[in-house]
Amino acid sequence: MATQTVMGTEIEYGIIVKNDPDFDPISSCVLLVNAYREDPDGEILWDYDQENPLADARGFQVDGEKYTPNQQENIARNKTLINGARYYVDHAHPEYSSPEVTNARDLVIHEKAGERVLEVSRREATALLPDGATMLLHKNNSDRKGNSYGCHENYLMDRQTSFKRVVEHLMPFFVTRQVYCGAGKVGSENRAQPCDYQISQRADFFEVEVALDTMVKRPIINTRDEPHADREKYRRLHCIVGDSNMSEYTIYLRNGVTALVISMIEDGAIPDGLVLRDPVRAIKQVSHDPTCKTELALDNGKKMTAVQLQAEYFEAALRYTATRDIDPIVQDVIEKWQYVIEKLAGDPMDLHREIDWISKKKLIETFMDRKELDWRDHQVGMLDLQYHDTRPEKGLYFMLERQGRVERIVTDEEIAAAVYNPPQDTRAYFRGECLRRYPAEVFGVNWDSISFGVEDQPVKRIMMSEPLKGTAAHVEDLLASSSTAADLVSKL
């Protein structure tokens, strides 16, 4: 029986300060994160003791040293929010890690809430800059200088599921899902073959099939073994192969379909015979062909397009769900997946309202036709970037949204509420509510623990190793009856 779905995303944003000749990305990130002030007096640590980024899912520990910042740097670089999210500085990028959710619709809501958080702090940070300087953020994946930054997805899995089987069945799925998950990109990078326009922002940067690294020799499947839950029961699939998406419809499919496929892998429902001969080459072939007609070589000698491979997974999903009670959101994901596959098999441009890379391509081509430009014109590159601008009044995706030219999945009211409220059906509820109710007494936080500094007592760490406990149903009455953190700790 597959593990119940628990997932989240970690989005790294591009950052620049316009009209600042001394721009430093790290100090700008620190300014940005600290400009977002839910609790002006809170000095809550991120609990790095609970992390182990050197553990490999293949069963070994790699050599290296785990970096742990000192207390002052920790507080300056990290914020845990009352909606259960983490907002922090990751190397030279601001990163928003959503709270844990149980379905694709909530994932869209909370990832979009992250965009709102970033925009609030961007405006506050800009107000602190010298006159004429403006901080800009982009929800994209490369800086056009050979550097790529990630959109990482996380999925809870049963540790008993063979990681070898996970790799075997996810490899062709990850290589080909970009036909509906890609964010689109003008040109190529990282010494890839030149092209006018490609499907994915990240595809050019993947160099190996399976590895632990995320910044050099990027793998299609990442092996980080850091479950943020009971290690005896769970693993966390850390997916680094996706693009940062603006389209709600694309985010919905990206996470909804992937969560379903992971459940199918756990239950042994993926057919054999879908092994790609050269996945690293194939991921670039798929990305560089917006017609979606390129055939990929399989190990068994057959050739299939990315859309045909996705159709194989879809047919397996129909067989899998036919014998199970399916949640309405999962059923909706399946229906949208089918619709997209059928359109991609015909004319992909028919999906200009739903899929990011197609929405962007249509927008750019319309502009090019009107201005009589080609793909190499610098204005075209600027349009590509502006599609991902997080400013609602400037970003081209938000322009399409205002004009009713893209499909929505959730409402603005739901997104606004998620900026300040955690999901109710995961441990994120307990984390967020503790931060809301007892901010001065929370000492440190991690995904699977929260520590309280109660009066002059030793710090009390409360473990949260079960992602589906600590929900509103579990702890709402407990929290309501605990006027202080001391009350809560004594009852726990």
pLDDT at 208 over 90: yes
Mean pLDDT to the nearest integer, 193-203: 97
Mean pLDDT to the nearest integer, 225-241: 96
* Token duo for residue 59: 């069963």
List the CATH number of the domain containing 221: 3.30.590
448 and 340 in a common domain? no
> Is 66 a domain residue?
no
pLDDT at 174 over 70: yes
346 and 479 in a common domain? no
Mean pLDDT to the nearest integer, 418-447: 96
Spatial distance between the Cα atoms of 370 and 468, rounded to a whole number of angstroms: 53
Strand order in the sheet with 93-97: 78-80, 86-90, 93-97, 7-12, 151-158, 234-242
Q: What's the residue count for the chain?
A: 492
Q: What is the pLDDT of residue 121?
A: 97
Whether 229 and 465 have beta carbons less than 8 Å apart is answered as yes
Rg of the Cα atoms in the chain: 22
Residue with the larger pLDDT of the pair 48 and 307: 307
> Is 70 a domain residue?
no
pLDDT at 216 over 90: no
> CB-based burial of residue 406 (10 Å sphere; 0-12 exposed, 13-18 middle, 19+ buried)?
buried
pLDDT at 302 over 90: yes
Whether 450 and 431 have beta carbons less than 8 Å apart is answered as yes
Full-prediction pTM beyond 0.95? yes
pLDDT at 397 over 80: yes
Spatial distance between the Cα atoms of 51 and 14, rounded to a whole number of angstroms: 25
pLDDT tens per residue across span 337-375: 999 999 999 999 999 999 999 999 999 999 999 999 999
Mean pLDDT of the chain: 95
pLDDT at 108 over 90: yes
430 and 381 in a common domain? no
Q: What percent of the chain has pLDDT over 70?
A: 98
Q: What is the pLDDT of residue 65?
A: 66
**Of 91-105, 204-218, 252-266, 318-332, where does mean pLDDT reach its minimum?**
204-218
Mean pLDDT to the nearest integer, 454-482: 94
Domain containing 286 equals: 7-38+81-417
> Is 110 a domain residue?
yes
Domain end (from 417, 438, 473)? 417
Whether 111 and 409 have beta carbons less than 8 Å apart is answered as no
- Helices 328-345 & 163-181, crossing angle to 10 degrees? 60
446 and 436 in a common domain? yes
Spatial distance between the Cα atoms of 256 and 252, rounded to a whole number of angstroms: 6
> Is 68 a domain residue?
no
Nearest CA-CA partner of 403 in 375, 373, 342, 362:
362
480 and 369 in a common domain? no
How would residue 71 be classed by pLDDT, with cut points 50, 70 and 90?
confident
pLDDT at 295 over 80: yes
Structural domain count, the chain: 2
**Of 23-27, 272-276, 381-385, 456-460, where does mean pLDDT reach its minimum?**
456-460
325 and 256 in a common domain? yes
pLDDT at 51 over 90: no
Domain end (from 383, 417, 451)? 417
Domain end (from 382, 417, 452)? 417
Q: Bridge partners of 60? A: 56
The answer to whether 131 is a known catalytic residue is no
How would residue 316 be classed by pLDDT, with cut points 50, 70 and 90?
very high
Per-residue CA distances from 44 to 40, 444, 447, 475 (Å) = 11, 5, 14, 22
Q: What is the pLDDT of residue 40?
A: 61
Residue in this structure with the two tokens 């003791």, named with its chain if needed: 49
447 and 378 in a common domain? no
Spatial distance between the Cα atoms of 318 and 337, rounded to a whole number of angstroms: 11
Mean pLDDT to the nearest integer, 197-209: 97
332 and 454 in a common domain? no
Whether 125 and 135 have beta carbons less than 8 Å apart is answered as yes
313 and 460 in a common domain? no
* End-to-end CA, the chain: 31
pLDDT at 70 over 90: no
99 and 243 in a common domain? yes
Given 20, 39, 56, 90, the catalytic residue? 90
> Is 180 a domain residue?
yes
> Is 67 a domain residue?
no
> Is 58 a domain residue?
no
> CB-based burial of residue 268 (10 Å sphere; 0-12 exposed, 13-18 middle, 19+ buried)?
exposed
Whether 139 and 93 have beta carbons less than 8 Å apart is answered as no
406 and 462 in a common domain? no
Q: What percent of the chain has pLDDT over 90?
A: 88
Whether 115 and 390 have beta carbons less than 8 Å apart is answered as yes
338 and 429 in a common domain? no
HEC per residue, the chain: CCCCCCEEEEEECEEEEECCCCCCHHHHHHHHHHHCCCCCCCCCEECHHHCCCCEECCCEECCCCCCCCCHHHHHHHEEECCCCCEEEEECCEEEEECCCECCHHHHHHHHHHHHHHHHHHHHHHHCCCCCCCEEEEECCCECCCCCECCEEEEEEEECCCCHHHHHHHHHHHHHHHHHHHCCCEECCCCCCCCCCEECCCCHHHEEEEEECCCCCCEEEEECECCCCCCCCCEEEEEEEEECCCCCHHHHHHHHHHHHHHHHHHHCCCCCCCCCECCHHHHHHHHHCCCCCCCEEEECCCCEEEHHHHHHHHHHHHHHHHCCCCCCHHHHHHHHHHHHHHHHHHCCHHHHCCCCHHHHHHHHHHHHHHHHCCCCCCHHHHHHHHHCCECCCCCCHHHHHHHCCCCCCCCCHHHHHHHCCCCCCCCCHHHHHHHHHHCHHHEEEEECCEEEECCCCCCCEEEECCCCCCCCHHHHHHHHHCCCCHHHHHHHC
Pairing of strands 45-46, 442-446: parallel
pLDDT tens per residue across span 41-50: 668 999 988 6
> Is 307 a domain residue?
yes
Spatial distance between the Cα atoms of 78 and 33, rounded to a whole number of angstroms: 8
pLDDT at 55 over 80: no
